[in-house]
Amino acid sequence: MSNSILEGVDAEGDSTADSTADSTADSTVKGTAKNAESPATTVMSMQQALNRALDEVLAENPKAVIFGEDCGRLGGVFRITDGLQAKHGTQRVFDTPLAESGILGMSVGLAMAGFHPIPEVQFDGFAYPAINQIVCQIARMNYRSRGTMPMPITLRVPSFGGIRAPEHHGESLEALFAHVPGLKVVSPSNPHEAYHLLKYAATRPDPVIFMEPKSRYWQKGEVDPGNADPSGGAPEGAKVMREGRHLTLVAWGAMVARCLQVAELAAEDGIEIEVLDLRWLKPIDTAALAASVRKTRRAVVVHEAPLTSGLGAEVAQLITQSCFDTLKAPVERVTGFDVPYPSGDLEDEYIPNIDRILFGIQRVLEYKRG
Amino acid sequence: MAEISFPLPDLGEGLIEATVLEWLVSPGEQVERNQPLVEVETTKSAVELPSPQAGKVVRIYGGPGDKINVGEPLIEFEVPDNTAGIVGTVPKEEAPKRRVRLSAVLDED
């Protein structure tokens, strides 16, 4: 396909500008053993990284099938499945009617028949009509059948806000999904994570809800296909994206990039912030949370979803449970508000911005025991 | 850049074709979403077709009086690769702005 984002014209153009030096330095430092088998690091957008991951999953697993609204001929409203139908055929990549209950219901049947369905729900808010299929069938079938009917389904959900879209296009459903026994939930924060987490998720025997931060789709970054984690972390663990010693910011998805900006600004004020990308929202990497907060002794959780019963409450409890003796202050939450997700014009007032996160940090820093 | 083709949609139950009356845009022109593109006449009525998306018009099919079948190309747009088909707006990368400063006396115990 001539208009495929796989062609990588953009990526090559960009890599000369800002990352050639980096990637060259990288490969020299890490030595030749890795380079012998793995393709070189390339700069690409999260769209391209996800597209590449799906392309490889289709090539590696003949039982993998991709489907959803506009996934086939159009290549997805965000171009994530662009070119895949042309390359892998209409039996492997196809369009569905506008019926999420049907998309997920069909996934159950396909999984029973031995396939690895990779359905897409076009937007977060469109998952609601399929809640019955997700909660009552997909999440439980393995349990219900005493392990004879696993549900290896990777459900891609473009998630969270930030693109000025209409209602149902900016919601954060991680707490809903994480509450359901039997589901795993993951959200990547950059192109490298997107590539590796999607490839990993698509090889799991369990249903995984893959929440793509749609506001970061166009963000470019280095992707090293041959090396998921230079630090050797577990594929289901959290990841320290920046080290610091005064306070831990815990985030996932699109909020990780914002927290990294906040950490940069806080450094100007002499506050060294550690940014922990939770990555897996179910199960949560409690050990990584504890290790970070035992070091920094302060924590702020940031998410776009509303405050009440959001995943931040779970994270705060896990930190309190494991770090109660060392905590300098109660864990703060900086989140969206307890309102329906607002229209695009009001989005900036809703999503935690830099100042709201800094305020949250300040509240923790100045906390005095009573 | 990617080219996106917009075929003549079904303009009413059972209609299979429409006749071009007048083009309201021309190749090279940048159009916005919902901007009227063309006036066509079916056996039921004459209607203006709004643009399904923003983009630059690359080519148009059929002149006044020509018949076009439902599903056949009507117009082609050129749009940037990574925004082709998008719902919403690509967020702009902006330098972080702040009004809040942090202040703390950190006892290092």
Distances in Å between the Cα of A72 and the Cα atoms of A46, A68, A75, A87, B52 are: 19, 8, 5, 11, 19
A196 C-beta neighbours (distance < 10 Å), count: 21
- What span, in angstroms and rounded, lies between the C-alpha atoms of A309 and A176? 9
Selecting among A169, A196, A246, A303, the annotated active-site residue is: A169
- What span, in angstroms and rounded, lies between the C-alpha atoms of A251 and B95? 20
Domain A39-223 class in CATH: alpha beta
Write out the two tokens for A253: 């998805």
The A154-159 sheet, strands edge to edge: A93-95, A64-68, A116-120, A154-159, A208-213, A184-186, A280-282
Write out the two tokens for A287: 């050990």
Q: Which residue of A has its CA nearest to B78?
A: A3
- φ/ψ region of A65 (left if φ > 0, alpha if ψ in -120 to 50, else beta) reads beta
- What span, in angstroms and rounded, lies between the C-alpha atoms of A36 and A324? 47
A27 C-beta neighbours (distance < 10 Å), count: 15
Q: Evaluate the CA torsion angle A191, A196, A201, A203 in order and state its sign.
A: positive
For the structural domain made of B2-83, what CATH number should be given? 2.40.50.100
pLDDT for B108 = 59
pLDDT for B89 = 79
CA-closest candidate to residue A160, choices A309, A310, A264: A310
- What span, in angstroms and rounded, lies between the C-alpha atoms of A274 and A244? 4
pLDDT for A227 = 84
Which of A77, A123, A269 lies closest to B85 in CB terms? A77
Beta strands in A231-295 (DSSP E): 239-242, 247-251, 273-277, 280-282
Q: How confident is the model at residue B33 (pLDDT cuts 50, 70, 90)?
A: confident
Which of B85, B87, B91 lies closest to A162 in CB terms? B91
CA-closest candidate to residue A284, choices A310, A315, A305: A315
Active site residue A88: no
Mutate to test the interface with A, among B6, B76, B77, B81 (most CBs of A within 10 A): B81
CA-closest candidate to residue B88, choices A340, A170, A187: A170
DSSP-based three-state secondary structure for A120: strand
- What span, in angstroms and rounded, lies between the C-alpha atoms of A85 and A66? 9
CA-closest candidate to residue A23, choices A254, A222, A209: A222
- What span, in angstroms and rounded, lies between the C-alpha atoms of B63 and B57? 15
Q: Give the residue carrying structure tokens 């393995």.
A: A142
pLDDT for A194 = 97
Q: How confident is the model at residue A274 (pLDDT cuts 50, 70, 90)?
A: very high
Q: What is the largest CA-CA distance in chain B?
A: 85
- What span, in angstroms and rounded, lies between the C-alpha atoms of A63 and A55? 13
Residues of B within an 8 Å Cβ radius of A: 1-3, 81-82, 84-91, 93, 96-104, 106
pLDDT for A36 = 43
Tell me the helix, strand and coil percentages in chain B, rounded to 5.
Answer: 5, 40, 60
Q: Give the residue carrying structure tokens 């082609």.
A: B76
pLDDT for A286 = 97
Q: What is the ipTM of this complex?
A: 0.72
ω into A283 cis (within 30 of 0):
yes
Q: Write the pLDDT tens digit of every residue in A118-137.
A: 999 999 999 999 999 999 99
DSSP-based three-state secondary structure for A321: helix
**Sequence letter at residue A104:** L
- Give me the architecture of the A239-365 domain, per CATH: 3-Layer(aba) Sandwich (3.40)
Q: Write the pLDDT tens digit of every residue in A144-174.
A: 999 999 999 999 999 999 998 888 999 999 9
Residues of B within 8 A of A1 (CB-CB) are none
Q: How confident is the model at residue A231 (pLDDT cuts 50, 70, 90)?
A: low
Is a pLDDT exceeding 60 seen at residue A35? Answer: no
Backbone angles phi, psi at A73, to 5 degrees: -65, -45
Q: Give the residue carrying structure tokens 């490969």.
A: A27
Gap from A89 CA to chain B (nearest CA, Å) = 20
For residue A280, what are the contacts with CB-CB under 8 A and spacing of at least 6?
A184, A185, A186, A236, A237, A238
Write out the two tokens for A263: 């950490």
Q: If you average pLDDT over residues B24-35, what whole number do you get?
A: 91
Max mean pLDDT among A20-24, A316-320, B56-60 falls in A316-320
Gap from A341 CA to chain B (nearest CA, Å) = 15
CA-closest candidate to residue A273, choices A196, A170, A190, A357: A357
Backbone angles phi, psi at A301, to 5 degrees: -100, 135
Segments of chain A assigned to CATH 3.40.50.920 = 239-365
Write out the two tokens for A219: 């963000």
